[in-house]
Amino acid sequence: MSQSWIRTENLTYSYQDDSTGEDQPVLHGIDLSIDRGEYIAIIGHNGSGKSTLAKLLNLVLEPTGGAIYVDGKNVSSPDMTDEDVFALRQKVGMVFQNPDNQLVATVVEEDVAFGPENLGVPSAEIRQRVDDALAMVGMTEYAKHEPHRLSGGQKQRVAIAGIIAMMPECMIFDESTAMLDPLGRREVLDTMEMLHREKNITIITITHHMDEAARADRIIVLDDGRILRDGTPEEIFSDPEPLIEAGLDVPQSASLIHRLRKQGIELPGKIGTPDDCLETICAVFEQ
Amino acid sequence: MKSITLGQFYPSDSILHRLDPRMKVILAVLYIVATFLCKNVLSFALLLLSAIVLILISKIPMKLVLGGIKAILFIMAFTALINVFFTKGETPIVEWRFIHIYAEGLWQALFMIVRITVLIVGTSMLLTYTTTPIMLTDALEQLLAPLRVLHIPVHEFAMMMTIALRFIPTLVEETNKIMSAQKARGADFTSGSLISRAKALIPILIPLFVSAFRRADELATAMECRCYHGGAGRTRMTILHYSPKDFVALAVIVVFGAGIIVLNRLGIGYTM
């Protein structure tokens, strides 16, 4: 029995095609283990099943086969009650792509309170949680604002605060930076990494920005509903051919190191982010 | 489009703004009843006075209030004319061919104009100008909560209202975007007959509806992820509390209603 916090066994998902009536498989037998406190990026081209996988983990979608265990509990079993599902969603929060379409209330703090209110948390504690969550994402001064007057990055931070207020142990970001400008993206990424570092929250981010993936501790590459690669950014990006075959990019820094290595230059060290790349190359010059 | 404001709420710190929204709804209902109790010159005078007092203590600029009355000018004129021409009485003023105007008709028209004006001014001072739409929704949800016994989905209605309020600015912004996009492709919304202008709206409405449904779908998923499951077992962050000033306001309106009934009995001048 492994100690993994989230574990999937031969997880499959397929949906029925409306026009042909045939089952259209999206995921074919995913075996995955995620430990508490990990920072994981899931990458893959469009239609690789990465979003589906994320939505299965907190039962927005129900698996058609296999099993999912979260915190030692089989959450894909048919005898899950509604309360069990709510308990799961409280533990595994999810932030979506479009910041507009996940804010419910007309005032920022009311929106952050929405999750805890649904969980039936006492009023005084909700107040405390909302204040803490807003402070954590740096949106305290906007507590009384209307969401539609905020920027994309700010809205997304409010959405994150709304999940934090539910006190999750794991947060899934389903392409949460895809619709943001560079500034908004940085705000969200910084918030994400702060939650991982300071609150020890397990982060699973679905992205198609390779430089975002490179910041994670571990990358899972999905291709046509199967796990193609699973490893640290160094492991994944030092061997870029399978990625390119799967229709994915490699971060520029990793690609540079890879080409230098191909030229026969010895480059030990990290390669994921531009900073790592710089260090690795400088180290060679110092020798 | 960032400047869009919903409803007529006018931010200020008047006593009316600070009353509990639930009490304001109750006060507004009582006030409406009072306007319909009025029967003679004295009670209508008191009614008019009360509306002026409401405007003054609400700190709403007169210009805004008059603007609100302007919107119902047509209805007022129409009601007045009907009353002038169709009220039968005993003291004729004009009798010419088929036109008979009686003094009672003129009184009746005057009373109706005062009643409609005060109805609009009073309720908007108590509710729409001094209460945000969201507070109003909360107040209605709590006041109507007993109806849940009759299986009326009060919480669900309030939630729909909240979401509608939340998404109106978003959809207005989107409409503008779609209009710009269609204009860039040569669409013309401003010339041609009424019918051709209405037809020009179809390429705006279709993308707008498609996107609204997509938004609704995504929002529903996001709400489920945040454990939304209706009103049962749900707590609220802000709990409304009645304060002494709410009960003072209630007492004032009860005295006011009693005053109207007393004045009605004095029987001075024309009685409705």
Decide which of A155 and B97 is more confident: A155
- Nearest-CA distance A84 → chain B (Å): 11
Backbone angles phi, psi at A273, to 5 degrees: -100, 165
Residue of B nearest to A114 (CA): B226
| Mean pLDDT over the full length of chain A | 89
Position B5 scores a pLDDT of 54
Per-residue pLDDT of chain B (272 residues; tens, 9 = 90+): 344 555 678 888 889 999 999 999 999 999 999 999 998 899 999 999 999 999 999 988 888 888 888 888 899 999 999 999 888 888 888 888 888 888 888 999 999 999 999 998 898 888 888 988 888 888 999 999 899 899 899 999 999 999 998 998 899 999 999 999 988 988 887 778 888 888 888 889 999 999 999 999 999 999 999 999 988 888 999 888 899 999 999 999 999 999 999 999 887 777 77
Check pLDDT > 80 for residue A274. no
Nearest CA-CA distance, residue B262 and chain A, Å: 45
Among all residues of chain B, which has the CA nearest to that of A149?
Answer: B2
| Helical spans, DSSP H, in B185-243 | 194-200, 202-225
Tell me whether residues A104 and B239 touch, CB distance under 8 A.
no
Strand order in the sheet with A65-70: A23-34, A6-16, A65-70, A73-74
Closest CA–CA distance from residue A178 to any residue of chain B (Å): 15
Using the Cβ of B172 and the Cβ atoms of chain A, whether some distance falls under 8 Å is answered with: no
Partner residue opposite B234 with nearest CB, options A82, A104, A118: A118
Count of A–B CB contacts within 8 Å? 100
Residue A103 Cα, gap to closest chain B Cα (Å): 8
Q: Cβ of B223 and A121 within 8 Å?
A: no
Looking at residue B32, its pLDDT comes to: 94
Q: How far is CA B106 from the centre of its chain?
A: 28
pLDDT of residue A239: 80
What secondary structure does DSSP assign to B87-127, as a single string? ---SSEEEEETTEEEEHHHHHHHHHHHHHHHHHHHHHIIII
Tell me the C-alpha distance between B226 and B83, whole Å: 57
Please say if the pLDDT value at position A245 is more than 90.
no
Distance (Å) from the alpha carbon of B230 to chain A's nearest alpha carbon: 8
- Sign for the CA dihedral angle at B60, B63, B65, B71 comes to negative
pLDDT tens string A168-184 = 999 999 999 999 999 99
Task: Decide if A58 and B238 are in contact by the 8 Å CB cutoff.
Answer: no
CB contacts, 8 Å: B222 with chain A: 94, 96, 101-102, 104
- Which residue in chain B is spatially nearest to A94 when comparing CA positions? B225
Distance CA B25, CA B140 (A): 8
Give the number of other Cβ atoms within 10 Å of residue B26's Cβ.
Answer: 18
What pLDDT score does A248 carry?
A: 84
Identify all chain B residues contacting A119, using CB atoms and an 8 Å cutoff. Answer: 227
| Tokens of residue A202, six digits | 């397990």
Over residues A227-251, the mean pLDDT reads 84
Question: According to the model, what pLDDT value does residue A218 have?
Answer: 94
- Amino acid code (one letter) for B47: L
DSSP of chain A, one letter per residue? Answer: ----SEEEEEEEEEEE-TTT--EEEEEEEEEEEE-TT-EEEEE--TTSSHHHHHHHHTTSS--SEEEEEETTEETTSTT--HHHHHHHHHHEEEE-S-GGGG--SSSHHHHHHHHHHHHT--HHHHHHHHHHHHHHTT-GGGTTS-GGGS-HHHHHHHHHHHHHTT--SEEEEESTTTTS-HHHHHHHHHHHHHHHHHH--EEEEE-S-HHHHTTSSEEEEEETTEEEEEE-HHHHHTS-HHHHHTT----HHHHHHHHHHHTT----S--SSHHHHHHHHHHHHH-
| pLDDT given at position B239 | 86
Q: Do B222 and A101 make contact, defined as CB atoms within 8 angstroms?
A: yes
CA distances from B260 to B43, B52, B56, B263 (A): 5, 16, 21, 5
- Name which of A155, A154, A250, A157 is nearest A208 in CA terms: A250
The answer to whether residues A120 and A201 touch, using CB atoms and an 8 Å cutoff, is no
Most confident of A27-31, A238-242, B4-8: A27-31
B contact test, residue of A52, A114, A128, A156 with most B CBs within 10 A: A114
The amino acid occupying position A267 is L
B150 interfacial to chain A (CB closer than 8 Å): no
Query: Length of chain A in residues, anyone?
Result: 287
Domain boundary assignment for chain B: 15-144+241-265
Lowest mean pLDDT among A17-21, A205-209, B196-200: A17-21
- Measure in Å the smallest separation between the Cα of B86 and chain A Cα atoms: 49
pLDDT of A66-81, one tens digit each? 999 999 889 988 888 8
**Full set of structural domains in chain A with CATH:** 6-250 (3.40.50.300), 251-287 (no CATH)
Contact (Cβ atoms closer than 8 angstroms) between residue A169 and residue A93: no
Could B225 and A98 be called an inter-chain contact, meaning their C-beta atoms sit closer than 8 Å?
no
Q: Which residues contact B117 (CB under 8 A, 6 or more apart)?
A: B51, B69, B72, B76
**Token pair 């794991």: residue:** A170
Nearest Cα neighbor of A102 from B175, B161, B207, B224 is: B224
Q: Which residues of A touch B219 (CB under 8 A)?
A: 101-102, 104
How much is the pLDDT for A79? 85
- Which position has the token pair 């109790």? B37
Q: What is the reported pLDDT for B259?
A: 94
